[in-house]
Structure 1
């Protein structure tokens, strides 16, 4: 490999994406917060806004076996659509290492936490449990402002989650390739005769 060639790096993760209306609301809320607080920085592109559920590491070569196991875990997950409600914004880190400005929330994200744990259980059953995150801070990264922003309440942003995604982020190229989609299916009630 010559010095000008860089190995393609694949960052695989399970994620949820907001609905189109959710994306519009998030972008508008981000703009309002940035204007009010005078924040500048690199925003996350609207088409890449997401909640990471489990990170499956970075790989120099595409990990087909891992992708197959992740697909099996997602296929075996039985879950119904659910609502998420993010009602806070602030830095994910502390003053020394603030990280991105994120949307987050508290009790309103209980269904999301249960879903993330259930997916982790299916990952364990598929033999990739070492990738399952036991500590989960549900959030949507909005912007990389390079400064600490104290957490504050905002007008709630809500959307209905109706599918799970497996994404390959092409590191350094700002590309999210969707490797798989699994719809969350509403269970039918028993028929009344």
Structure 2
């Protein structure tokens, strides 16, 4: 009997440094996206917050700044059925532009604790948007991943250890004029905007 084991199969990394042996994870979520001017202000506030918190952090690229409204799950491939149902649900949501004021920085617990910008007061219009979109998604049968609570925030970095402590910041005014359905590959590049809904003028 030949007791030698067959040679193990070697998976060669791709030219971009990825591992083709690891399955992709496709993430879908609704979010508020800042315009270019607001992204610049968030980047400045993030730099100030990181300095004030005196932490070793891994900063996030400004192109990835967003405030999540609703998470629609992680999937092994891009689920076009979920995209279609979520878009149809969002088509039924009606809102006007509003102002979101980010005036503090803090963090959440985690393996790499997220460092976030937050608002002291959630605008009533934002809370209503979150609730109306949640109700529409529930009616569309997409309630499997929806949260029952809402804490508006923009993640700007991940801490290398300690959970960021709350610090106040100069108010950053963000004029919100719509929301988007986003797709990302976990560990990949920038988000893909699948559809954007613009609010009619008040």
State the TM-score, normalizing by the size of structure 2. Answer: 0.83
State the TM-score, normalizing by the size of structure 1. Answer: 0.87
Which residue, out of 62, 70, 81, partners 1:46?
62
Alignment of 1:1-193 (within 5 A): 3=11, 4-5=19-20, 6-93=22-109, 99-146=113-160, 147-186=162-201
Aligned residues: 184
Gaps in structure 2 of 5+ consecutive residues: 1-9, 12-18
**How far 1:97 moved relative to its partner?**
5.8
**How far 1:186 moved relative to its partner?**
2.3
More helix by share: 1
Gaps in structure 1 of 5+ consecutive residues: 188-193
Are the equivalent residues in 2 in contact too, given 1:52–1:138 (CA < 8 A)? yes
CA displacement, residues 128-155 of structure 1 (integer Å, 9 cap, x when unaligned): 1333321111100011122222112111
Q: Could you say what the CA RMSD is over the residues aligned between the two structures, in angstroms?
A: 1.9
Moved over 3 A (4+): none
Q: For residues 43 and 169 of structure 1, what CA distance do their matches in structure 2 show?
A: 18
Q: For residues 71 and 56 of structure 1, what CA distance do their matches in structure 2 show?
A: 12
Are the equivalent residues in 2 in contact too, given 1:109–1:138 (CA < 8 A)? no
